[in-house]
């Protein structure tokens, strides 16, 4: 199979670079495009070489990987960013930056393969580059694709995400989610956002409360009086 992804490795640790270089040279979709040991060198390489993918370490001397990723995403030809690090606490920031994936060292060949195949799909307009919300289930980090989210409910200091695979808690507030994804969600109550694309009906329950019916979700959030006109307008259109 002809290589289709030019991959730049950014890490200040030589053993990590050598391991990724070996894995990339063995992968049918990847072409090793060189390495950089710090963020400034990586940004220069992105401007001159235009790699398709950057495997980006987080903790490096000088500018860290999260800051470097923000700059990469503002380039004229931004690469797809896959974070590679030993520190899981950066996962939320990674997904907020729309990073394609987040790999924990030592990187396993099968995880790298999955990430690169997603990158190849995204490059051809496939489903690989989907925006995600990041949640933690015990010790496991979970990326919830935004197009699978149906309802967001405020619960104490957290937000409960109801999605096709179940439900999970995230630390993002409803206000921040509404501001970041106005095209995806509409507020129906001070404690609830719902997916615009899956809004199906408005019903009144036995207690006289208006509630919305959402495709693919059993939860039916209450609609406040101030948001009722907006919901009716969306249902008409």
Q: For the segment 110-157, what is each residue's pLDDT rounded down to a tens digit? A: 999 988 988 887 765 544 445 677 776 665 667 788 889 999 999 988
| Domains 5-127 and 144-236 belong to one CATH topology | no
Q: Which pLDDT value is given to residue 98?
A: 57
- By the 10 Å C-beta count (0-12 exposed, 13-18 middle, 19+ buried), 3 is classed as middle
Measured between alpha carbons, how far is 105 from 85 in angstroms, rounded to an integer?
A: 6
Confidence of residue 46 (pLDDT cuts 50, 70, 90): very high
DSSP-assigned letters across all residues of 210-226: EEEEETT-----B--GG
Measured between alpha carbons, how far is 158 from 80 in angstroms, rounded to an integer?
A: 30
CATH of 5-127, picked from 3.40.50.20, 3.40.50.2300, 3.40.640.10, 2.60.120.260, is 3.40.50.2300
Nearest 5°: CA angle at 86, between 120 and 172? Answer: 75
Percent of all residues in the chain with a pLDDT value above 90, rounded to a whole number: 53
In the DSSP assignment, the letter for residue 38 is S
Q: Which pLDDT value is given to residue 128?
A: 44
Measured between alpha carbons, how far is 62 from 9 in angstroms, rounded to an integer?
A: 17
Percent of all residues in the chain with a pLDDT value above 70, rounded to a whole number: 87
- Lowest pLDDT segment from 9-13, 46-50, 88-92, 96-100: 88-92
| Residue 3 pLDDT exceeds 80 | no
140 or 201: whose pLDDT is higher? 201
Q: Which pLDDT value is given to residue 147?
A: 87
Measured between alpha carbons, how far is 186 from 224 in angstroms, rounded to an integer?
A: 12
Burial string for 211-229 (b: 16+ CB within 10 Å, else e) reads bbbbeebebbbebbeebee
Nearest to 151 by CA among 228, 233, 215: 215
At how many degrees (to 10) do helices 65-72 and 39-49 cross?
20
Averaged pLDDT, 187-199? 96
| Residue 217 pLDDT exceeds 90 | yes
Measured between alpha carbons, how far is 142 from 23 in angstroms, rounded to an integer?
A: 25
CATH superfamily of 144-236: LytTr DNA-binding domain (2.40.50.1020)
* pTM for this prediction: 0.55
Q: At 114, phi and psi to the nearest 5?
A: -60, -45
Measured between alpha carbons, how far is 171 from 1 in angstroms, rounded to an integer?
A: 43
| Matching residue, tokens 């992804």 | 5
174 or 126: whose pLDDT is higher? 174
What is the domain partition of the chain in residue ranges? 5-127, 144-236
Please give the mean pLDDT across all residues of the chain: 86
Measured between alpha carbons, how far is 58 from 102 in angstroms, rounded to an integer?
A: 10
| Residue 22 pLDDT exceeds 90 | yes
């Amino acid at each position: 199979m002809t290589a289709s992804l030019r991959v730049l490795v950014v890490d200040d640790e030589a053993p990590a670079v050598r391991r990724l270089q070996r894995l990339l040279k063995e992968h049918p979709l990847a072409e090793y495009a060189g390495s950089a040991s710090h963020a400034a060198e990586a940004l220069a390489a992105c401007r001159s070489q235009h790699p398709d993918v950057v495997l980006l370490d987080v903790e490096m001397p000088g500018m860290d990987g999260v800051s470097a990723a923000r700059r990469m995403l503002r380039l004229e030809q931004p690469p797809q960013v896959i974070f590679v690090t030993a520190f899981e606490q950066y996962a939320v920031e990674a997904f907020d930056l729309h990073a394609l994936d987040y790999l924990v060292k030592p990187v396993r060949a099968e995880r790298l393969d999955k990430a690169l195949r997603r990158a190849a799909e995204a490059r051809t307009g496939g489903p690989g580059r989907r925006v995600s919300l990041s949640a933690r289930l015990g010790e496991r980090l979970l990326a919830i694709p935004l197009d699978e989210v149906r309802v967001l409910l405020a619960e104490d200091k957290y937000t409960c995400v109801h999605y096709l695979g179940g439900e999970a808690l995230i630390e993002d507030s409803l206000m921040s989610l509404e501001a970041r994804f106005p095209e995806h969600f509409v507020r129906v109550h001070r404690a609830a956002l719902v997916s615009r694309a899956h809004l199906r009906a408005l019903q009144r329950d036995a207690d006289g409360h208006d509630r919305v019916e959402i495709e693919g979700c059993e939860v039916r959030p209450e609609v406040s009086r101030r948001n009722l006109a907006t919901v009716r307008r969306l249902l008409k259109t």
